[in-house]
Structures are given as C-alpha cells and as structure tokens.
Amino acid sequence: MPLDNSLPDEIVSEILSPALTVADEVFSDTSRVSPFSNYSESTSAYLVVCKSWLRVATPLLYNVVVLRSKAQAKALARALSGNVDLGRFIKKLRVEGGYGAPMHTILQRAPNISDLYLSFEIWTPDTTDGLCKGLDLISPSRLIFREAQRKGPKNRMVCKLVDAVAEAIPKWDRLSVLDFSSEYSTARDKIVDSLNQAKRLHTVVVHSISIAMWAHRTFKECPLRVIQIKQPLDSWDLDFINWHDPAIRTLLRYTEWEKATAVQDNAPDLEIAPAFNPFFTPMSQAPNEVQDAIWSRVLYFAMSVPERAADPKRKDIPKCLPLLRVSKLFHRLGLPHYYVHVVLNYRAPYLEPEHILSQRPRIQTLHGLSNGSDTSVSLNSFEALAKCSGPSLLECHICVQGTRLPVSGAIFNDLAVLRKLTWRSPVAFVCTEADTPSNAMPRLEELQIDVGWSFVTMLTFMKLESLRIVHFLQSLDYNQFLEAHGSKLSELEIVSLSESVHESSILDLCPRLASLKLGCYERALPSEDILLSRQPTTTLAKVTFDVPYMDKTMVAGWEQFFESLNLASVPNLHEVHMPCFDWPTSERDIAKSHWVLWAEKFQTRNIHLIDGKGMKWRPRLKVSGRR
C-alpha cells in the first residue's frame, strides 16, 4: 500500500494563507494609483500546482476579489455561472470601474459580500448598467468609495451609479461603516442624504482632520461612535480640533505624527547596575594579542564596517569618530576600521587625502565622487594613495585634478587587486606602449569612464584580462578601446554613439556581450542596424535604450525604429529596457498607451519590454466574443 505523503488541508491552508491573503488596508486603499496596479504573477497560479492546493486555495483566492478590467469581470461572471459555490466565498469585492453587464451576474451570485469598494472614476465607454442593477442583490456592512478630486468624470454612467448607490443604501440593513477618499465630491450629497435617512452608520473612515470635522457635522442623524482618520495628526491638528470642534474628540481614532514616524524599538530597557569596582579593566589578565583581537572585533561592528562596505555613503550610519576618542586603545585599533572604507571630504580633517596618507591605511573602497560636488584630489595624492593602499584597494571612484604635462600610466601599476574603477579626470596620459605597463590592474572587472579621452587610449595598451563591464559616461572615441578589449566584455554602456563605431558594429567588436546600454540623447535615434553583426551574437539577452524622456513628437520615430530594428544577429535577445516610462495603471490608460502596443508587438518576437521600475509587461486578460 503506497504511503500517503500529503499534508492535511488545515496545514496547507496555513501555508497558502500568507500568499493569498489581501491586507485590509490594501483592499480599502483609495489612493490615486491602485495598489493592485502591479505586473507580478497572479496569485491564481497557486491553484494549478496540484489538486490539493486547488481545493484548499480556492476559498482563499475568492475571499477577496479585485476587478480592474472588463475582461476580468466577464471572466469572473463566467466562472460564477459555471460553479455557484464560488460566489459564496466572496466576502470583499473591489470594483475599480463599471464593467458593464457582467457585474450584475457577479453581484447576483455573491450573496455574502460584506465589504464593497466602488470607484466613481468611470470613463466612457465603460458602463455601469450591470453594477447598478445588481446593488439591490447584496447587503454589505462596509462601503468604500473613491472619486477623483480634480477633473473627474461627470458623465451619465457616474450619475447613474451614484443614484443606484443612494437608492440601495436604505435596503442595506447591515451597512454601518463608510470609508471615502476626498472631501470635495460631486456625488456625495445624494449618498449622504440616504445614509442620514437610514440612521445606521456608526463608523466613518476619512483621510484628514478637515474631512473628519465635515463628517461630524454632516452625519448628525447617524449614531456615530467612531471617526477614524488615516492620516497621522500633529500637535497643530489637535489644537485645531480643540479650538473649532472639541465635541469630536471623543469620537476620533487617529495616530499621532510623532508615534507614526518614530523608530520602533522593541528591545526592553535594561538597567545597568553600578560597577562594584570602578577601576575594573576588562581582560586585564589576558595577553595583549587576545585583548587587541577581541576589541578589534567589537569595533569592527561598532564602526559599521559591513554596512559601510555595502554603501559607504549611507546617511544613517552612526559617526565613527567618537569611538576613536574613547581611549588610546580604541584609537589604535579603530583607525584601520575607520579608513577601510573612505569617502573623501575636505570639510572633515580626518578624511582629507593628506591626513589619510599619514595613517598608512589599508583602504578597500575609496569614494571621491558624488551626485552633488566631487572631492577632487591632486595627481600626486592619488599616486600616493595607490602606492599606500594598492595591495588592499578593491574599489576606487575618484576625481583627479589635471596636470600641465602628460603622465605615464605607471601610476596604476600598484593597483594589483582593484576590481572597480570610476575615473573622472582631465589628466593627459602618454599614450605609448613603452610608457604603459601592460600588466597594470590585472583584476579590474568594472570600469566607468566619465572624462578622459587619453585615458581611454592609454588603456588600450594594457591587457586588463579580468575586465568584463565598461561604462562610457561621456562622448568619447572608444572604437580603439573596444578593438583591444571588446572581446572580454559582458556588459557595455555607451552614453553617446560615436561616428567611428559605425564603421565596425558594436557586436562585432564585443561578441560576448550579455547586456548593452545605449544612450539616446538630444532626440537622436540609433541606427536600425545597431544590433547587426557579421556573426550572430548568441550571448546578448538585454538591450537598454536610455532615453531621458519621450513626448508625443517622438513616438512616431521610435515606433518606426522598433518596427525596423534588425534583430537577425541577436537570436537570444529577450529584454528591451526603456527607463523613461512606467507602465500605465488603469484600464483606460492601458487602452491608449503606445508602450503597451509596442510591448505586445515585441512579445510576438519573444522579447519583453521593460519599464523604468524593471517590470516587464504582462498581457492583460482581454474580452473575447461569444463562443
């Protein structure tokens, strides 16, 4: 007899619940952009894992239903018509549009709805006939509605839905909670009158103190017990309430701003007992080597060395200097940790290049660049830092001041373990093979070049056997560089295409590229043959076109470019990334988006279009004709 390895349904339910549960604050969110406007995998995928998961997950999936398109409403109506038991699972229903006749079927077959979310932001040609017809068939206990605060639609369908809600409220004998989004409403008068006549409302959820005061004045006919404010209140808000409407204080439920923004510290407060011996020295009997090793390890974490290694420019890292001033021991043991990850700063004496050099540190990461102002160093200081920390320096992001005379590339000879280099400097180099050490920077993997045309030329005489990633951040003549090192590269970024590169295809020069990023500034379009090469480049999987923005005048040109783009040489290209846009978030915007049109055309070629958030387009469920 075979063993039964299946889990009980109760355990499977506990496993699946976190993945299928929709938090109430997300369900009731009335923000301008829906929290459900994402492009991740649908949670319905859990149902097709196995029969056990299908059986257990179906009630969990249907417990909260969110409808964001006509096609979804039509599919749900068809599913509920085919299985009457599914409708009984629906407890919360969020409808972000009108969605036509299928809404009547949905409401008719979902009698247990307790929470109903409606949107009054409905645009033509969407209709609300089915929704209006079906409101009498349910009896929710909570009503949530949202409408646009400015320039919202005022068409016949919106007015019809408002009238239907107002007429249904007297029949909803369980309705006691109202949650709405804005104070200025074109539709609220009828609904408010209906709620006042029903006299059942005891909880109102609003967003701000002004709307709370409006609700307190408006719903005087209702037995209000709670007015909940989602937005945290500050002391000024509380004083405002006491001055204008002190009677409301007993009804309000809110979070104070200080408590909402304070960092929660769940650690218990510990009382440190006074020392029996104030002259006690820890580990006084241990050998000096043991003491140094232990205190050094303590300071390693106290000075946030791991956090600084991940991001030396983090603002939330505690200052390290106070620890160095505790004692001579801490100063001696802490200095190596202080200088292991350095961000140059002339306003801080300890971080000036000259002072750093005096400590003979073993720097691992050196940052002199920032988005604001760079901290430039002299060529002599850079050369001294390279000699001092060359055996340990892994990353160097530096801005070096120019010199009158060209210098030799030998200044990089000491960077034996350097893996990442960002070079921003007008320094001119002697571009000859004799003056350039061919074995310099043997472990360099990633290179960013911002300024320095002669620096690029000088690098062509180096072997750079470990180089894999290159970013050209300025318009430079990089053709000679790619001829020397292109065969090693897996990632390449070119901010501005030079004319010389068109003589030889980028992919011919870099046949092993996996990712290519091309800057498209000044409204210039790349050549439609930019991805063409003499031999197929089977490694290239992603291409990024870095366009700063795209207005209406540019759409036609890019549409023609995408249609004409020659992909014969890149059979394994699967992603085209355009950082200048984000996917539309509503059915109306999706219908008129050229990005969606381009994405669907790319998908016919097995290529995904990626937006600025790194999300690929997922095809929406579409309305089909009768079968």
DSSP 270-286: -PPPPPS-TT--TTTTS
359 pLDDT higher than 60: yes
555 pLDDT higher than 50: yes
CA distance 441 to 419: 8
Least confidently predicted of 89-98, 298-307, 311-320, 509-518: 311-320
- Which whole number is the average pLDDT over 559-565? 90
Comparison of pLDDT for 82 and 500, the residue scoring more = 82
What is the Cβ-side half-sphere exposure of residue 515, based on CA atoms within 13 angstroms?
Answer: 10
Give counts: helices (H), strands (E), the chain.
24, 20
Contact 306, 328 (CB under 8 A): no
Please give the angle made by the CA atoms of 49, 53 and 54, to the nearest 5 degrees: 90
Predicted pLDDT at 3: 46
Buried/exposed 460-472: b ≥16 CB within 10 Å, e otherwise = bbbebeebbbbbb
Phi then psi for residue 10, to 5 deg, are -65, -40
3-state secondary structure of 544: strand
Least confidently predicted of 251-255, 423-427, 565-569: 251-255
Query: For 500, which DSSP code?
Result: G
For 353, 376, 387, the CA distances from 426, given in Å and listed in that order, are: 19, 11, 21
Phi then psi for residue 423, to 5 deg, are -115, 120
For 189, 212, 591, 599, 607, the CA distances from 604, given in Å and listed in that order, are: 50, 52, 19, 9, 7
Predicted pLDDT at 293: 95
pTM (predicted TM-score): 0.78
Q: What is the pLDDT of residues 25-59, one digit of tens each?
A: 899 988 888 888 876 777 888 888 888 888 888 88
CA distance 317 to 364: 18
9 pLDDT higher than 80: yes
621 pLDDT higher than 70: no
Q: What contacts 548, CB < 8 A, 6 or more positions away? A: 521, 580
Predicted pLDDT at 185: 57
Query: For 115, which DSSP code?
Result: E
Q: Side chain identity at 521, as an amino acid letter? A: Y
Residue carrying the six token digits 């247990």: 112
Residue carrying the six token digits 């000491």: 414
184 pLDDT higher than 70: no
132 sits in which H/E element: helix 129-134
- Which whole number is the average pLDDT over 465-477? 88
Cα 176 to its chain centre, rounded Å, is 37
Token digits of residue 463: 């072997």
- Which whole number is the average pLDDT over 451-470? 90
455 pLDDT higher than 80: yes
Q: What is the pLDDT of residues 74-106, one digit of tens each?
A: 999 999 998 888 999 999 999 998 999 999 999
- Which whole number is the average pLDDT over 140-145? 92
Least confidently predicted of 22-26, 189-193, 446-450, 488-492: 189-193
CA distance 469 to 513: 9
- Which whole number is the average pLDDT over 126-147? 91
- Which whole number is the average pLDDT over 458-477? 90
Q: What is the pLDDT of residues 15-31, one digit of tens each?
A: 888 888 888 889 998 88
CA distance 595 to 579: 12
* Residue 485's pLDDT band (cuts 50, 70, 90): very high
CA distance 257 to 255: 6
55 sits in which H/E element: helix 51-63
* Residue 295's pLDDT band (cuts 50, 70, 90): very high
Comparison of pLDDT for 296 and 37, the residue scoring more = 296
Predicted pLDDT at 626: 45
Please give the angle made by the CA atoms of 602, 607 and 612, to the nearest 5 degrees: 85
Q: What contacts 162, CB < 8 A, 6 or more positions away? A: 120, 187, 190, 191
Contact 423, 449 (CB under 8 A): yes
* Residue 236's pLDDT band (cuts 50, 70, 90): confident
Q: Residue 255's CB: how many other CB atoms inside 10 A?
A: 14
Predicted pLDDT at 269: 58
Predicted pLDDT at 503: 47
Q: What is the rounded average pLDDT for all residues in the chain?
A: 84
* Residue 386's pLDDT band (cuts 50, 70, 90): confident
* Residue 219's pLDDT band (cuts 50, 70, 90): confident
For 8, 244, 440, 467, 555, the CA distances from 443, given in Å and listed in that order, are: 55, 70, 9, 7, 43
Contact 119, 145 (CB under 8 A): yes
DSSP string covering 425-454: ----B--SSTTS-TTSSTT--EEEEEE-HH
605 pLDDT higher than 70: yes
Rg over alpha carbons for the chain, rounded to the nearest Å, is 33
Any idea of the CA torsion for 169, 173, 177, 183, to the nearest 10 degrees?
Answer: 20
Predicted pLDDT at 267: 46
Burial class, 622, CB count within 10 angstroms (exposed 0-12 / middle 13-18 / buried 19+) = exposed
* Residue 517's pLDDT band (cuts 50, 70, 90): very high
